[in-house]
Structure 1
Amino acid sequence: MVHIKVPKDRVGAIIGPKGRVKNLIEQKSASKLEIDSESGSVEITPGNDPVAGMRASETIRAIGRGFNPEKATQLLDDDMLMLDVIDLSDITKTQKELKRIKGRIIGKNGKTREITESLINVHISVYGKTVSVIGKPEQIQAIRTAIDMLVGGANHGTVYSYLEKKRQDLIQEEIESQPPDFEP
């Protein structure tokens, strides 16, 4: 059994309209969810597949960190996807500094986040004191570096250039990892 505490304002997203999101998570993971709306506590009882139970807890954590359920439930469908949560309070000392860093990561009207997501093909959520990413390990590593660059004050153009280069590297790695076509 796993217990996860989520912000109370995210409980409704975990349950979903008429319980659809909760039911979907339970169905795809063969787990049972007990949700306490008052405290924000979610209890996950895994079924016969412990890995599916872990995927359910990652999905709950993702929704709790601000992802919409449609994006978060992708964690249940692809074993290569993972959730990475970066706690910004570890690198900021004041509310003002936290707000500034979140603004740099999101960008004007969400432009920086949008460009970052599309270049590396990940989902990003900036919620509370955290930045969360859903992606494959190599994608998450690239995003962590980009966020470190932004936190360190790097120009957005420099970060975009880095991400474009990483995108090309990831595409090349994907091509090289494919088995060669066998022709008789």
Structure 2
Amino acid sequence: MQHVKIPQDRIGVLIGEGGETMREIEAEAEVRLDIDSENGSVAIETVGDPVTGLNGPDIVRAIGRGFPPEDALSLLDDEMVSFDLVDIDAAARNTNDMKRKKGRLIGENGRTRELMEELSGASVVIYGSTLGIIGTPPQVDAVRTAAEMLLDGAPHGTVYSFLEERHNEMKAQGLTYHRYPGGGS
């Protein structure tokens, strides 16, 4: 049994309309979820295949960090799909610096976050003080590196060039290149 704590405002998303999302996660990940709506604590118990069940906590964490359930469920794909978080707060000196760094990651009208998704093929969400990434290891690595560059103060143009370079490398190597879930890019 594992325990994951998610923000109060994400509990409804985890449960879904009439419990639909919760039931889908339980069926697909072969786990049982016990959600405490009061404090956001979620107990995750594997009830089927232990390997499949290992994804349960990451699926719950991903939803808790702002991903839609369909993106979080892509962690069950046969391909090597992983979930990673970049802690924006850890890179900031104070609250104002955190807001500024978060703004750099989002970009004007969300364009920087969108470009991270488009050029890496990963799914990228910025929620609270974290940037979440779901994708294959090369996709996750490209977004994590780009985010760290921006947090360290690199100019946006430099980061966009880096992402275009990584995009072309992944394409040339024939690595699976599509945004989760199911593709399109």
Shorter-chain TM-score above 0.5: yes
Matching of residue 158 in structure 1 with residue 158 in structure 2:
yes
Partner of 2:54, secondary structure, is helix
Does the 8 Å CA contact 1:66/1:126 hold for their aligned counterparts? yes
AA matched with 1:153: G
> Counterpart in 2 of 1:31?
31
What letter is aligned with 2:120?
I
How many residues align? The count is: 175
Which deviates more from structure 2 when the two are superposed, residues 47-56 or residues 120-129? 47-56
Residue 144 of structure 1: aligned partner: 144
2: CA distance between counterparts of 1:69 and 1:147? 23
Aligned to 1:16: 16
* Pairwise CA distance, 1:79: 4.2
Secondary structure (helix, strand or coil) at the match of 2:55 reads helix
Segments of 5+ residues of structure 2 without an aligned counterpart are 176-185
Match of 2:180 in 1: none
Q: Aligned AA for 1:85?
A: L
* TM-align CA RMSD: 1.2
Distance 1:76 1:19 in 2: 20
Please list, as runs of the form range in 1=range in 2, the aligned pairs for 1:1-184 lying within 5 A after superposition.
1-174=1-174
Percent identity of paired positions between Structure 1 and Structure 2: 45
The question of whether the paired residues in 1 share the 8 Å contact of 2:75 and 2:82 is answered with yes
Q: Distance in 1 between matches of 2:69 and 2:146?
A: 25
Check whether the contact 2:79–2:136 (CA below 8 A) recurs between aligned residues.
no
Partner Cα distance (1:76, 1:13) in 2: 18
Give the distance between the partners of 2:90 and 2:107, measured in 1 at CA.
21
Q: CA deviation at 1:48?
A: 3.0
Q: Cα deviation per residue 1:52-102 (whole Å; 9 max; x = unaligned)?
A: 112111110000001111211111234411110111222112110000011
**1:18-44 deviations in Å (ceiling 9; x for gaps):** 111101101101111111100101111
- Residues of 1 paired with 2:68 and 2:107: CA distance? 20
Contact 1:29/1:47 (<8 A) preserved = no
Secondary structure of 2:92's counterpart equals: coil
Structure 1 stretches lacking a partner, 5+ long? 176-184
Q: Which has the larger radius of gyration?
A: 1
Secondary structure in 2 matching 1:171: helix
Q: Amino acid of the residue matched to residue 45 of structure 1?
A: E
Kindly report structure 1 stretches of 4+ aligned residues shifted beyond 6 Å: none
